[in-house]
Amino acid sequence: MNALGEKKNINVLIQSGGGDVFAANAIYNALILNKATITGTIIGICASAATIILMACDKRKIAKNAILMAHNPSISLWGSYTSEDLLKLADVTDQVKKSIATAYMDRLDKTEEEINQLMDAESWYVGQEAVDAGFCDEVIETGFQDNIFSNRFTVNGVPCSFKNYLEVAVPENIRKKVQALSITPPKDKGTFSNKTIQKGNENMGEESTKNTTPVITDAAHLKSAYPEFVDQIVADAVKAERERLKAIDEIAAGIPDDVLTRAKYDEPISAADLALAQMKANNKAGQQTLNNIVDDLANSGASSVGVTPNAGTGKEDEVKAEKEAKVNGLAAALGKDKRRGKK
């Protein structure tokens, strides 16, 4: 602010989800003390502590699809605390709320009780609603997505465009209001507007009655307004699905029927993903089979079988040899017997 020097007018563009209340109070005071006429314009969202800064502006404007949100302050804690510590923190938080309410009371035509109630309720306002509530003085026709900041901001550390900013930061009922008021959407987003604005000619500011497009709220409205566009989307989707099913059929050999059915219809996946999943399943099954074979061999007792002949076969051979020795010995004895007759 000091670096600007003396200025008659200063424009403050606000796109903020809030933050440190004490920092917001410091910015508030810096704006209040400046001699320039301060014009604050909400180009996207002005929430929480950011609303304090808005209250310091002499003129307060809001884009027709921009948002303002007011709520109670909160405190983040790390570490260990006693009950006495927590009571002190609660008291500090209540005092911070009073400081915010004081800034509101200077600009809003509301009592302190009414302001406390809207803060307790976490109140959201879109465009004209912020004017009606007293937070802003006027609505500007330019939508948030028309300005150069639409794709250059973050919410809670997440890079945002106009579309995902709504999805990340805004409750569903508020998001619908914003979408209904959004005009001239970015061409690459594929969103639709309900009217067009003439710019840069002698009729500047007047709404054109030509080339208007209907509000799109569901698939039926989309098909009615853009039948050829929808037909092309459907044709492309059908083609892609047929190619996916054909690719699965080409690798179906060896894959169980229940797995194929699930991959095709119940839990659709690509042929590549199915092939990878089946390879993993086959590998797991093969490893289990190998483990079973090893377990069977270990438990069969085969490892205890040796190469030495069993005892029964060795004893039989020994008895046979003993008998043959006895017969041979008897034959020799008879040959030497003198009592045998001679021829």
Task: List, as one string, the DSSP characters of 194-230.
Answer: S--B--SSTTTTPBPSSS------SHHHHHHH-HHHH
**What are 155's strand-pairing partners?**
158
How far is 170 from 164, CA to CA, in rounded Å?
A: 10
Of these ranges, 21-35, 226-240, 321-335, the one predicted with the greatest mean pLDDT is 21-35
Q: At 107, is the secondary structure helix, strand, or coil? A: helix
How much is the CA Rg of the chain, to the nearest whole Å?
Answer: 45
Return the HEC string of 281-315.
Answer: HHHHHHHHHHHHHHHHHHHCCHHHCCCCCCHHHHH
pLDDT of residue 109: 85
- Domain map of the chain by residue range? 2-191, 231-298
Which has the higher per-residue pLDDT, 182 or 309?
A: 182
**At 175, which helix (H) or strand (E)?**
helix 172-181
* CB distance 42 to 136 below 8 Å: yes
pLDDT of residue 145: 58
pLDDT of residue 287: 74
Q: What average pLDDT does the segment 314-339 reach? A: 66
The span from the first CA to the last CA of the chain, in angstroms, equals 158
Strands 138-140 and 59-63, sheet pairing = parallel
Binned at pLDDT 50, 70 and 90, residue 38 comes out as very high
How far is 72 from 96, CA to CA, in rounded Å?
A: 9
pLDDT of residue 186: 44
pLDDT of residue 30: 93
Give the least confident one: 12-26, 135-149, 263-277. Answer: 135-149
Is it the case that residue 250 has pLDDT exceeding 70?
yes
Domain 2-191 falls in which CATH fold?
2-enoyl-CoA Hydratase; Chain A, domain 1 (3.90.226)
DSSP structure class, residue 263: I
How far is 111 from 307, CA to CA, in rounded Å?
A: 106
How far is 29 from 24, CA to CA, in rounded Å?
A: 9
Q: What share of the chain is helix, strand, coil (3-state, %, to 5)?
A: 55, 15, 35
Each residue of 106-148: pLDDT tens digit? 888 889 999 999 999 899 999 899 999 999 999 987 655 555 5
How far is 85 from 39, CA to CA, in rounded Å?
A: 41
Each residue of 71-101: pLDDT tens digit? 999 888 888 889 998 899 899 999 999 989 9
Predicted TM-score (pTM) of this structure = 0.48
